[in-house]
Amino acid sequence: MTQLEEKKGRIAQQQLDAYNRQNIDEFLGVYSDDVTVMTFPGDEVMYRGKEKMRERYSELFKNNPNQHAELISRMVKGNIVIDYEYVAGRANGQSIYAIAMYEIKEDKIQKVWFVK
């Protein structure tokens, strides 16, 4: 892995750590102001912008105070980081496996894809 790819991995880890602490400001700190969040496959836009992300994740944290994402594996290739996670502690009692892909440019996450 190149030094640049290692840096991209650290940015993804920083947001995961903040997510697990439910620190909304630190979590959003690694995202671009105009971040785009999409589904994969298909690139359906779920929402755009850091403020929309703040609304969604503030609500998520409030409703799931014990939620925690455990990183199972991470791949980094160029600007893309792919995380495979196990998410537990959700209010509905259901644990899930999740795949998130991040496109990182200029030290900010520009795009996120959540695999359906």
> Looking at the predicted structure, is the pLDDT value of residue 43 above 90?
no
Q: How does pLDDT run across 48-104, given as a tens digit for each residue?
A: 999 999 999 999 999 999 999 999 999 999 999 999 999 999 999 999 999 999 999
DSSP letter, residue 41: T
Task: Give which of 30, 67, 37 is closest to 52, Cα–Cα.
Answer: 37
> Do 37 and 45 contact (CB within 8 A), yes or no?
yes
Residue 3, pLDDT score = 93
Separation between Cα atoms, residue 74 and residue 34, nearest integer Å: 24
Q: Which helix (H) or strand (E) holds 48?
A: strand 45-48
pTM: 0.94
Residue 1, pLDDT score = 78
> Do 100 and 87 contact (CB within 8 A), yes or no?
no
DSSP letter, residue 65: T
